[in-house]
Structure 1
Amino acid sequence: MIGLPAKVVALHPYDPAWPRLFQEEAARLQAAIGRYVLDIQHVGSTSIPGLAAKPIIDLAVAVANFEEAAVCIEPMERLGYEYRGENGLPRRHLFVKGTPRTHHVHINEIHSADWQQQIAFRDYLRARPDLTGEYARIKQQLARQFPTDRRAYTEQKSGFIFNVLRKAIPGLVPQPGDPLRVRMFRSNAECYRWWETTVEAVDDDSLVTFSPPGNLIHETQGEWRTQGAIRAHYWFARPYVLLEIYGPDGALGGLYVHVSSPALVKNAELYVTDHELDVVKQPGGPAQIVDEVEFIAAAATYGYSAEFQAFCRQIARDALTLVDHWQPSGWRQL
């Protein structure tokens, strides 16, 4: 009824037993950690009637405080769960259970964007069978495209999820002039770089930021400041980021495309996972794919599947055309 081997993407038809299996596991959690939690909800695809899903029960657990919720780790481990830390989502405790995998538990602060978004997405699709059907078609296509790569499968459906959340949660997306923190992750869920910037433009498909010269960049090994200005274009359903780099004099210094996950927005933060394959175009020169060595190393380190490697390389080839036809906006400070 439930259970999926590691590194397998397989969708099962909706099973009416899934709500009961959630209730049974929620009762176990309540007995083990109930004194520390505020709510337990069934989330994810198995919580949406009629939707095909990976046969893994997702449980969202609300707590008052992330740090204090560390007290849940030991009793969860006694229930057979493995603790995965934040696993790419700041201030989330992730637990997984079963071989093959049967349950995921996400412990979030009740006031957090993650808690709000999980519930809002579920409730919106429960009320919209037409969108449930569209989501099922997207999931099935991605399962065929990435049959052995859950990371790629999850990343590439994020655009649909985000568009639903924009309808379900008014004001989700920052507006022009708003401050925004950008976090760049590696494929092991490590945040390796972050900075503050300002939203310049936003529409249904994308968000654009502008950072002036001297912007402070934080990295795990230290800090540095940019010499010129950077305009960054992020898309909610496209697997890349495009940067316009300007020198201190305002002249265009180059275009860069990072093959990445689509952008995710939570509160006043934007998250992107960098897959370490890039395209560069210098003024007057041809666009070219770079960082092949880094990409090969990342594929080996993070276990990119063959189909995901091929996908990333195709995105890079498509980006050659993108940058060749790109019309930079020029340096206009906010």
Structure 2
Amino acid sequence: MLLVSIYGSDPEIEVVGEACDGVEAVAMCRALRPDVVSMDIQMPNLDGIAATRQIMVERATPIVIVSSLDSTDIRFSMHALNAGALMVVAKPGGPGSATYELDSRELLSTVKAMAQVKLVRRWASIPPYQQRAPTESAIAPTDRASMLLGIAASTGGPNAIRKVLAGLPPDFDTPILIVQHIAAGFSEGFATWLHDTTSRPVTLARHGELVERGACYIAPDDRHLGIGAAGKLSLSAAAPIEGFRPSASFLFSSLAASNGAMAIGVILTGMGSDGLTGLRELKERGGLVIAQDEATCDVFGMPGAALRAGLAPAGTPLEHIADRVVAALAHRKPP
């Protein structure tokens, strides 16, 4: 099998089991207790979505979805992320494929990184969000229509972003710019999945497009996303920032420069510290920073970096981030 051969080529990876279908995958995960699971989507008896969901209930284990770039598989992969998988990567072609070496390296690095993630299932209820009186970290009153909301995430981000968007009221009219670290080829499917599961207008960002009220724009593959002159989207092929293109820091820096105090930056679950530099600039320009709390993060890297830097007073549970955004905007009145 191709994937077993690729994993076997790395001395840091030991393949402890190979399942023929989803039922066997669940049983092997229960018996072998692996550090990470590489999951296909199309399997007999129990597909990858149902197998992922069952594994996350029985024994939470990092799951990497390995998918073809077929539109159906991409759609199913998004549902597997919703079921609890952490990442999705493209399935490498055969050794004769032009991208075989690159795809194999990306697969190996992703699997090894996800093996380090320690997941804990959280079933306890979270107390309702208590709206606080405005503090110095709250943005000053201004016109809501000129506001922009930026959201960025990495590991575990697709489902977190979905929950934030789904939690916003139907009449939420602030444009939203989103950066999600995701494997090449999956951005369009991610945008379609968010559109279908949140009932919000979500599309891939296009360079020079004028932002519309209430619309959500996803950074496309291999391009930084920002806001340019006259409220138009800007896509950039500038060098990756800390290894990322699109970069969360690029997005937040752009919002700081264009909107300053009229911007909100939300940083969600993800490895590393992407977004920290841009959020610092946004904070300095008077913008509001909201960081997901550790208890509801799959990986606390990106929000943790922002909180340790003092860019937000405290972490916010994922279930209450939409409320925080709406509450911040509720204090704003046209001048």
Range of TM-score over shorter length: 0.3 to 0.5
Query: Whose radius of gyration is greater, 1 or 2?
Result: 1
Greater per-residue strand proportion? 1
TM-score by length of 1: 0.36
